[in-house]
Amino acid sequence: MTAFQNEQPDADEKVSNIPLLATLASRLPPSPALVLSIGSGSGLLEAMLLKHSEKPLDLFGVEVSSCVNKHLPPDRLVKVPNTTSLHPDAMLASSLMFVYPRMPTLITAYLDASIGGALEQVVWLGHKSDWPDFESVMRSRSSSVDIIERSGLCGSELLVVATM
């Protein structure tokens, strides 16, 4: 995630890392399975996944109305009123993706809202030091949690895939 850190001021724009994109894309289900990226920020990671994935992805960014989307096509972005709001399509999503999430309670709320829905996996990407805050939420609501090695991230970052 730090590949182009000095070139772009936007935090999402640190994600110009092709090995990471390949790893993420390989873990996401192909279209028509719905993938929601919760807290997509400027949409750079999602736009790059849509562009570089070898398979078609039905990927949408979910962000608050006040956030400026710079990269995702408008038809690939859905809005929520505030940072604690859930998007109603969460029940339909096969995969939820959280990149550097701030609140474990938001992941808990999405997982609880997805009970009985289509959810098959959750992808979590963040700093290793943040993982303990999210680990119990992920482990308590999934059948398995896999820490992905050689994901293309730097040593201080972690990619986790939880299977429901």
Q: 8-17, 73-82, 99-108, 148-157 — which is least confidently predicted?
A: 8-17
In a domain, 83, yes or no: no
Residues facing 60 on adjacent strands = 36
**What does the pLDDT average to over 74-98?**
96
Residue 81 lies in a domain: no
pLDDT band at 40 (very low <50, low <70, confident <90, very high): very high
| pLDDT band at 14; cut points 50, 70, 90 | very low
pTM of the shown model: 0.88
19 to each of 11, 22, 90, 117, 123, how far by Cα in Å? 18, 5, 28, 31, 16
Q: How far apart are CA 63 and CA 77, in angstroms?
A: 7
162 three-state secondary structure: strand
- Which pLDDT does position 17 carry in this prediction? 58
Q: Is residue 82 part of a domain?
A: no
Within-domain flag for 79: no
Mean pLDDT of all residues in 138-154: 93
pLDDT computed for residue 63 by the predictor: 97
Q: Is residue 10 over pLDDT 90?
A: no
Q: Is the pLDDT of residue 15 over 60?
A: no
In a domain, 4, yes or no: no
* Percent of the residues in the chain that have a pLDDT greater than 70, as a whole number: 90
Radius of gyration of the chain (CA): 14
How many structural domains are present in the chain?
Answer: 1
Return the pLDDT at 150: 85
Question: Rounded to whole angstroms, how far apart are CA atoms 151 and 19?
Answer: 7
User: Could you tell me if residue 147 is inside a domain?
Assistant: yes
Is 6 contained in some domain?
no
Rounded distance, CA 19 to CA 16, Å? 9
Range of the domain at 123: 17-73+88-163
CATH at residue 32: 3.40.50.150
> How many CB atoms within 10 Å of residue 12?
21
Does 55 fall in a domain?
yes
